[in-house]
Amino acid sequence: MFLRSTKSLFLSILFLGSMFPVFFVAADLADQCVQISESNTGCPNMSSADCKNLLQQCADYYDQQSELISQDITKTTQQKNTLQNQITALKKKIQNLDYQISQSNVKVSSLSIQITDTKDSIDGTSEDIEDSQSQIASILRSIYEEDQKPSFIILLEGNLSDFFSNIAYLGGLNLKVSELLDSTKDLQSYLENQKEKMDGEVGQLQKTIALQTLQKKENEQNKTEQQQYLNLTEAQYQRQLQDKQEIEEKSAKIKSMLFQTIGVAKAPTFGEALEIAKTIGTMTGIRPAFLLAVISQESAIGRNVGQCVLTNPDTGDGKRISTGAMVIRIMKPTRDVQPFLQITQALGRDPYDTPVSCWIPAYVKGAPYGWGGAMGPAQFIPSTWNLFTDRLTLLLGKAPDPWVINDSFTASALYLGDLGAKAQTMSAEKNAASRYYGGSSAYANSVYTRATCIQTFIDNGTMSVSCENLIF
């Protein structure tokens, strides 16, 4: 019974573990990474190898989190743009409705004036009709009175022909006044029809204005809602930016601690150099074999960081370390001497006892050409090194030293990345190598040959004799 219960419990644990392993591991890793990033003691109670492994996991974890937040920021930015476009569209609709409402109000005002004028005309016409009707009544009374006169009175009043002429005149006048009355009534009917039509137009316009006003109100409400959503989205966007900044700060500290675990003070063995190249290459996107090939080409992987020292900062001349013989053009005074003095002073190094590359004699039309002065395993000239100090300080968590192996590897990787080597194609790497040296296809071909040798060793664990002679 106990065995069955134990077995059931064990199977239950396995089942639950199969359902939620990623959650538990991810949550545990996140907590560990936060603790390490907020600690100044690194990885207490851990071996160097375990600490390095955990730091690498944390660096990868923060890179993934940064990428996820970047994706969220992209989506939020798209939402912001969509909301902003909607708000802009609603503003245009509101402006258009304002224009239409104003236009309709102008039409209503114009029609109201016309209606008033028409009403005045109708009132005037009604008065004309009343006058005409009065005139007709008066004429008809006159005709009736004339017609009712006895014959003897007509004879007493005068000429009989005048009487008939007067009757005919009154009849003609009555006809004209009747015609005028009909015309005036027609005008009145026309004006009343026009007024009725304009009243209808005003009514329709007022309905349109009411509808447009309602639409405007709805659009304004929608605009207010969209603006509220935009404000919320903007707040979310700012939180995401802050989260990304915090993640990147933790990542920078973790990577700084990781870099410190791989640093060596002297020229490394090939195995040590390969591990450094793998770690830094993974972080910077540079193919490790290519990075190590560049360092191999430049300084035999740190075994030859320079055979000369500066002696005269004004002229840039110096001497060979092994013999003390004077060598010209050790360092370009106008470009590199002051940066070199600043770098060595900041690192507590003696600028006149710190090895740099000698001048490689070259002449153009009989005049000496080029300068020495390259520093450390990556062979940076001082003015170029200063271009990377801020980025290196962020990654390393300390002032970078061009003579320290991991610092120089990192600087070289950053520079090669800027030159396009992250593409990790043959053409991209050769072009980056050529530009690294100042423009030389021979240099690029030599670097690529070394990179092929190193990549073969990484892939197969073996190296040909010709490759060994080249690398070692």
Could you give the C-alpha distances from 205 to 105, 197, 232, 331, in angstroms and in order? 8, 12, 40, 87
Q: What are 293-352's pLDDT values in tens digits?
A: 999 999 999 888 999 999 999 999 999 988 999 999 999 999 999 999 999 999 999 999
* Residue 207: predicted pLDDT: 81
Which of the listed residues 234, 259, 284 is the one where a domain comes to its end?
259
The secondary structure of residue 378, as a DSSP letter, is: T
Residue 218 and residue 78 in one domain: yes
Residue 271 and residue 181 in one domain: no
Residue 273 and residue 176 in one domain: no
Q: What are 248-268's pLDDT values in tens digits?
A: 778 777 766 765 555 445 678
**Domain containing residue 94:** 52-259
Q: How far from the centroid of its chain's Cα atoms is residue 215's Cα?
A: 34
Lowest model confidence (mean pLDDT) among 162-171, 214-223, 226-235, 364-373: 162-171
Report whether pLDDT(42) > 90: no
**Are 378 and 336 within 8 A, CB to CB?**
no
CA count, 13 A, side-chain hemisphere, 351: 21
* Residue 60: predicted pLDDT: 80
Residue 159 and residue 297 in one domain: no
Q: What is the pTM of this model?
A: 0.52
Q: What are 179-213's pLDDT values in tens digits?
A: 666 766 676 677 778 767 877 777 787 787 888 78
Residue 210 and residue 171 in one domain: yes
Lowest model confidence (mean pLDDT) among 80-94, 103-117, 226-240, 404-418: 103-117
d(CA 422, CA 426): 11
Q: What are 43-100's pLDDT values in tens digits?
A: 777 777 788 788 878 878 887 888 888 888 888 889 888 888 988 888 888 888 888 8
Residue 158 and residue 185 in one domain: yes
Question: Is 427 inside any structural domain?
Answer: yes
* Residue 7: predicted pLDDT: 34
When pLDDT is averaged across residues 443-451 and rounded to a whole number, the result is 96
Picking from 329, 323, 267, the residue whose alpha carbon sits closest to that of residue 300 is 267
Q: What are 241-250's pLDDT values in tens digits?
A: 888 888 877 8
Pick 13 or 112 by higher pLDDT.
112
Question: Is 40 inside any structural domain?
Answer: no
Could you give the C-alpha distances from 335 to 291, 384, 434, 449, in angstroms and in order? 27, 10, 22, 32
The secondary structure of residue 328, as a DSSP letter, is: S
Question: Is 188 inside any structural domain?
Answer: yes
Residue 356 phi/psi, 5-degree rounding, is: -135, 170
Greatest C-alpha distance within the chain: 171
Residue 303 and residue 416 in one domain: yes
Q: What are 11-29's pLDDT values in tens digits?
A: 333 333 333 333 334 558 8
Q: Spell out a b/e string for 17-31, using b for 16 or more CB atoms within 10 Å of the CB, else e.
A: eeeeeeeeeeeeeee
Question: Is 365 inside any structural domain?
Answer: yes
Q: What are 414-432's pLDDT values in tens digits?
A: 999 999 999 999 999 999 9
Residue 451 and residue 320 in one domain: yes
For the chain, what is the mean pLDDT?
81
* Residue 288: predicted pLDDT: 96
Question: Is 336 inside any structural domain?
Answer: yes
Picking from 34, 57, 66, the residue whose alpha carbon sits closest to that of residue 245 is 66
Six-digit token string for 265 = 């003070």
Report whether pLDDT(162) > 70: no
Return the number of other C-beta atoms located less than 10 Å from residue 352's C-beta. Answer: 14
Question: Which of 338-341's residues contact partners 24+ apart within 8 Å by CB, and which partners?
Answer: 339/382, 339/383, 339/385, 339/386, 340/310, 340/373, 340/375, 340/382, 341/313
Which of the listed residues 204, 237, 259 is the one where a domain comes to its end?
259
Q: Which residues pair with 312 in a beta bridge?
A: 317
* Residue 22: predicted pLDDT: 36
What is the number of domains present in the chain?
A: 2
* Residue 169: predicted pLDDT: 65
Report whether pLDDT(158) > 70: no
**Are 63 and 255 within 8 A, CB to CB?**
no
d(CA 177, CA 171): 10
CA count, 13 A, side-chain hemisphere, 179: 6
* Residue 25: predicted pLDDT: 45
Residue 304 and residue 156 in one domain: no
d(CA 359, CA 340): 16
Give the model's confidence band at 438: pLDDT under 50 very low, under 70 low, under 90 confident, else very high.
confident
Picking from 262, 303, 285, the residue whose alpha carbon sits closest to that of residue 403 is 303
* Residue 339: predicted pLDDT: 97
Report whether pLDDT(178) > 80: no
Residue 128 phi/psi, 5-degree rounding, is: -60, -40
- Residue 113: which H helix or E strand, with range? helix 48-147
Q: Which CATH number characterizes residue 167's domain?
A: 1.10.287.950
What is the Cα gyration radius of the chain?
51
Residue 157 and residue 280 in one domain: no
Which of the listed residues 259, 282, 312 is the one where a domain comes to its end?
259
Q: What are 355-412's pLDDT values in tens digits?
A: 999 998 988 888 998 999 999 999 999 999 999 999 999 888 889 999 999 899 999 9
Question: Is 25 inside any structural domain?
Answer: no
Q: Is 320 helix (H, G, I), strand (E, B) or coil?
A: strand
Question: Is 34 inside any structural domain?
Answer: no
Question: Is 289 inside any structural domain?
Answer: yes
Strand order in the sheet with 326-327: 308-312, 317-320, 326-327
d(CA 472, CA 449): 14
